Amino acid sequence: MNSKVTVNVCMGTGGIAAGGDMVMAEFIKELEAAGIEDASVNEKCRLHKVGCRGFCARDVLVDVAIDGEVSTYQYIQQDMVKRLVREHVVGARPVKEWLVGDDYHTFHDNQTKIVLGDLGKIDPESIDEYMGVDGYKAAEKALTTMTPTEVIDTVKESGLRGRGGGGFPTGLKWGFCAANTADQFYLICNADEGDPGAFMDRSVIEGNPHAVIEGMIIAAYAIGASIGYVYIRAEYPLAVDRLHMALDSAKEKGYLGKKLFGTDFDLKIKVKLGAGAFVCGEETALIASIEGERGMPRAKPPFPANKGLWGKPTIINNVETLANLPHILTKGAAWYASIGSEKSKGTKVIALTGKIRNTGLIEIPMGMPLKEIIFNVGGGIEGDKLFKAVQTGGPSGGCIPQQHIDLPVDYEGLASVGSMMGSGGMVVLDETDCMVNISKFFLEFTQSESCGKCVPCRIGTKRLLEILTRITEGEGKEGDIDLLLELAEDVRDSSLCGLGMSAPNPVISTIKYFRHEYEAHIKDKKCPAKVCNKLLTFFIREDMCIGCGMCARACSVKAITGEKKQPHKIDNKLCIQCGSCFDACKFSAVLKE
């Protein structure tokens, strides 16, 4: 066998969770058993650890390439490896039924990958592989051929804006910082990704940590920072490990430390683990946390660019922002500015989740219409249900309804309908989602993550949540919608930091677009999406019930009675609408209305 065989196993957090490490071990074992490694003189068969390619829902994803011809398999488990090796690697007959389908290709082909470009292709634990794709060339170019001002100007011209949520022009922020006179400047990489369902930063660090480090070198050089921090969640152990590994190997190669690339520029990067507070993603709270204080936001001004960590000028950039920099420096500002929409340049990495066929990590050019993201890249709504809304920007964002499906996804577009880009979370909702319940879900999150410093956020979000809860439990009162809106606006307008300012967005946007659902809950005591159990009546269809008794056993208040093999009945006076019978019935005989 003279063909060069390469097997790539997805080993991101998603891949490992799906059994990637076992699949990989099995490949090593089976390839050895098949004598393939012995047969090759050169390194013919390589097993890569590759990072996330964005399609975690199909994990474990495996590429088998023979002579450069790549076949991609999905849902691979340990016990499937033997057949893959036997039939595909040895027998040169791909296992057709396990190959990915057309949707896998529409998912990838409609994306524009810059930040995610090398993810899933290179081994994140090898600096040589990163250098093999021109890694650290951009940093070298910046440090050896450009002045810091030229770097700032290039980033300004590129139109790059902060990817952490705020969307502030990166080059402009650097310019403010560099204009200070100080004995020390700091650069912080914000990897405290906390939005529920968001995993953009985690995937980038896990899949290509060197790109982030290279971005940090460029940013630090531009502002004159000799010390950098990566503030990363402790809940991302794999990302933390790979980051440490990457920092160590960069140091060994001389890309970090003293006199980088033969210049007089020094840079030391430290890693600081977050302790799991959502608010520490807010830059002033993040600074407080690095300083050893409780993660509580501070008033701005002064802005961190002028007075940040330890009172020194500090730039805080998000992981994705930094990972864009090597590409901008290599290919030029004009190239970057040519991608995207008028005011939002480049691409955005989005975590696409919810009731959608292709969930995963995607990268799209700014300005791509929502419709294309959901129906082309995302493959449409799961189970062919009706699209209802999409929640963007995580718990701080808003819900965008059907009527705005053609909206371009960029900073301005999302803001114009009361939502936001945020860090790039996108949760697709279908007709079976209750919008009151959705806004309650997000409020539960923001309320429990409020630091408690300022009154509107600490007590205001609590009262919002209580009103929402009573509406979903059928205790909603006349006037509750107006009260919600009044309070939501006041919390938005008077809170101290971004958490409180944006926490009411889900409430405001769902009332704006789905007021009728709120009214149905309050006036008719009905949940149109049949989600809020307290507003539902449960009953058993006699013609469907086979009398198995599962529902009766699941009922904690003994509201269900019936003889064996005879249709059962629910006593609605006793029923507490917990929904256990509905979940327990295997014959769809329990209905709710």
Partner 1 sequence: MINLTIDDKQIEVDEGTTVLEAAKELGVPIPTLCHDDRLKPFGACRLCIVEIAGMPKPVTSCTTPATDGMVVKTVSEKLHRLRKTTVELLLSDHPNDCMVCISSGECKLQELAYLYGIRENRFTGEMRDHNKIDTNPFITREQNKCVMCGLCVRVCEEVQGVGAIGYAERGFEARVTPPFGQNLDCEFCGQCVSICPTGALSGGIWAGKPRGDSVKFTDTTCTYCGCGCNITLRSSGDEVVRVDSDKDNHNRGWLCVKGRFGFEFINSKDRLTTPLIRREKGGQFEKATWEEALDYVAGRFTEIKDKNGADAVAGLCSARCTNEENYLFQKLMRAGIGTNNVDHCARY
Q: Which residue of 423, 447, 502, 533 would you call a contact of partner 1, by CB under 8 A?
A: 447
Among 172, 405, 415, 459, binds partner 1 (CB under 8 A): 459
Could you tell me the maximum CA-CA distance found in the chain, to the nearest angstrom? 86
Number of amino acids touching partner 1 (CB under 8 A): 33
Window contacting partner 1 (CB under 8 A); options: 63-71, 451-459, 543-551, 553-561: 451-459
Q: Which of 299, 302, 306, 276 is nearest to 289 (CA)?
A: 276
Pick out residues in 479-518 that bind partner 1 (CB under 8 A): 483, 486-487, 490, 493-496, 501
Query: Which residues, numbered 45-84, are part of the site for partner 1 (CB under 8 A)?
Result: none
Which amino acid belongs to residue 158? Answer: S
What string marks each residue from 389 to 418 as x (binds partner 1 by CB under 8 A) or -? ------------------------------
CB 165 within 8 A of CB 396: yes
* Residue with Cβ nearer partner 1 (239 or 309): 309
We find the least distance from the C-beta atom of residue 466 to partner 1, in angstroms, to be: 4
Q: Is 540 exposed, middle or buried (0-12, 13-18, 19+ CB in 10 A)?
A: buried
- Restricted to residues 278-297, the positions that interact with partner 1 (CB under 8 A) are 279, 294, 296
Q: Does 44 bind partner 1 (CB under 8 A)?
A: no
Q: Which stretch binds partner 1 (CB under 8 A): 227-235, 311-319, 387-395, 447-455?
A: 447-455
Beta bridge partner(s), residue 352: 360, 426
Please, what is the minimum distance in Å from the beta carbon of residue 450 to partner 1?
Answer: 5
Interface stretch with partner 1, choices 87-95, 225-233, 345-353, 450-458 (CB under 8 A): 450-458
CB-wise, 324 or 495, nearer to partner 1? 495
Contact call for residue 461 and partner 1 (CB under 8 A): yes
**Rounded to the nearest 5 degrees, what angle is found at the Cα of 380, between the Cα atoms of 379 and 381?**
135
462 binds partner 1 (CB under 8 A): yes
Q: How far is the CB of 178 from partner 1 (least distance, A)?
A: 21
Hey, which residues between 121 and 160 contact partner 1 (CB under 8 A)? none
For residue 95, which of 104, 105, 103, 83 has the smallest C-alpha distance? Answer: 83
Q: What is the 3-state secondary structure (H, E, C) of 343-401?
A: CCECEEEEEEEECECCCEEEEEECCCEHHHHHHHHCCCEHHHCCEEEEEECHHHCEEEE
| 36: phi then psi, degrees, rounded to nearest 5 | -75, -40
> Please, what is the minimum distance in Å from the beta carbon of residue 454 to partner 1?
5
Among 454, 468, 552, 560, binds partner 1 (CB under 8 A): 454
Beta strand 186-191 with 227-233: parallel, antiparallel or unpaired? parallel
**Binding characters for partner 1, 296-325, by CB under 8 A (x = yes):** x-xx-x------------------------
Among residues 402, 448, 561, 566, the one that binds partner 1 under rule CB under 8 A: 448
Q: Stretches 75-83, 87-95, 231-239, 459-467: which one binds partner 1 (CB under 8 A)?
A: 459-467
Distance CA 372, CA 311 (A): 45
What is the closest distance, in whole angstroms, from the C-beta atom of residue 491 to partner 1 in the complex?
Answer: 8
Nearer to partner 1, 34 or 172 (CB): 172
- Smallest gap from Cβ 498 to partner 1, in A, equals 12
- Minimum distance, C-beta of residue 34 to partner 1, in the bound complex (Å): 55
Q: How far is the CB of 441 from partner 1 (least distance, A)?
A: 15
Cα–Cα dist 244/590, whole Å = 53
Among 165, 141, 392, 203, which Cα is nearest to 282's? 165
The one-character DSSP state at 303 is: P
Q: Which two tokens stand for residue 33?
A: 């058993």
Pure H helices in 162-308: 170-178, 200-207, 209-223, 237-252, 283-290
- Tell me the two tokens of residue 179: 């204009």
Q: How far is the CB of 340 from partner 1 (least distance, A)?
A: 25
The single-letter DSSP state of residue 578 is -
**Region of residue 185 (left: phi > 0; alpha: psi -120 to 50; beta: else):** beta
The helix (run of H) or strand (run of E) holding residue 591 is strand 590-592
Task: Write out the residues near partner 1 by the rule CB under 8 A.
Answer: 277, 279, 294, 296, 298-299, 301, 447-456, 458-463, 466, 483, 486-487, 490, 493-496, 501
